[in-house]
């Protein structure tokens, strides 16, 4: 029987690549998105992966959404918490709205989604949760106190949840990507990428979404049951944690 996987932020960029990678590996995948119906529909038509729209920062929306996925695809065995936003600004200029938006979407969502699936995973004696954090959780970043705090919080959350469920056949791990060639990075001026970003990366290039997807597929495999509470740094050597 195919295992069922949910990927949040799962129709574009890293999340889209993860969803495609999991489908290719034989999983039944549900991709969750927040608001871009056009992109989500295009992803669905291209991939055949069903898409579901809800706000992962809203606990009750997650409750309803996961129930809908399970009714359509079956019990959730794999959860990839990938959804995230940025609202950058130096702390002395940051608004409460900027802070709360990032904490709610990037960190509270990890609780909101994990809470919906953890009991079923415990009852069935199997589960895989992978949280997509960031290099900036490990090293910090100017103008991203909100983002760095949220992404660092994911690491602590994952370690604690891994300990709580290690004897239930459930693993919880983190991936911290560095600079990945997503639309957001590719929208930057080429001279900024070449002069300010690439010199920081020892391998001399941006990562690809597919490389992050391969990390996820490795961690969620049945054979990866001895790896839990771990953080994989996929950053081309930019930061060695």
209-228 pLDDT tens trace: 999 999 999 999 999 999 99
Q: What pLDDT is attached to residue 110?
A: 98
Number of H helices, E strands in the chain: 10, 7
Q: Is residue 153 part of a domain?
A: yes
Asked if the model's pLDDT at residue 186 lies above 90, the reply is no
Residue 239 belongs to some domain of the structure: no
> Residue holding tokens 């992978």?
130
Is residue 36 one of the residues assigned to a domain?
yes
Query: Which pTM value belongs to this model?
Result: 0.96
The position carrying tokens 């940025």 is: 86
Alpha carbon of 167 to those of 90, 110, 115, 199: distances in Å? 42, 21, 18, 44
59 is catalytic: no
Catalytic residue of the set 27, 33, 59, 147: 147
Domain assignment of residue 78, given as a range:
4-234
Dihedral sign of CA atoms 237, 25, 36, 175 in order: negative
Please name which of 155, 172, 156 lies closest in space to residue 225, comparing C-alpha atoms: 172
Question: Percentage of the chain surpassing pLDDT 90?
Answer: 94
What total of structural domains would you count in the chain?
1
């Amino acid at each position: 029987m195919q295992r069922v996987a949910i990927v949040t932020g799962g129709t574009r960029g890293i999340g889209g690549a993860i969803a495609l990678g999991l489908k290719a590996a034989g999983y039944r995948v549900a991709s969750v998105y927040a608001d871009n119906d056009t992109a989500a529909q295009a992803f669905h038509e291209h991939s055949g992966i069903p898409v579901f729209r809800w706000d992962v920062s809203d606990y009750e929306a997650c409750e309803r959404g996961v129930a809908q996925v399970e009714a359509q695809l079956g019990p959730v065995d794999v959860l990839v918490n990938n959804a995230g936003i940025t609202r950058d600004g130096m702390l002395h200029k940051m608004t409460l709205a900027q802070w709360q938006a990032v904490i709610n979407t990037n960190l509270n969502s990890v609780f909101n989604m994990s809470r919906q699936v953890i009991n079923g995973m415990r009852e069935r004696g199997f589960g895989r949760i992978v949280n997509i954090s960031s290099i900036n959780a490990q090293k910090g970043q100017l103008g991203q106190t909100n983002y760095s705090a949220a992404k660092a919080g994911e690491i602590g959350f994952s370690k604690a949840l891994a300990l709580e469920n290690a004897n239930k056949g459930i693993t919880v791990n983190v991936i911290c990507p560095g600079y990945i060639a997503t639309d957001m990075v590719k929208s930057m001026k080429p001279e900024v990428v070449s002069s300010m970003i690439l010199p920081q990366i020892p391998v001399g290039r941006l990562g690809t979404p597919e490389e992050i997807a391969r990390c996820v597929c490795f961690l969620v495999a049945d054979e990866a049951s001895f790896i839990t509470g771990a953080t994989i740094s996929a950053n081309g050597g930019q930061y060695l944690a």
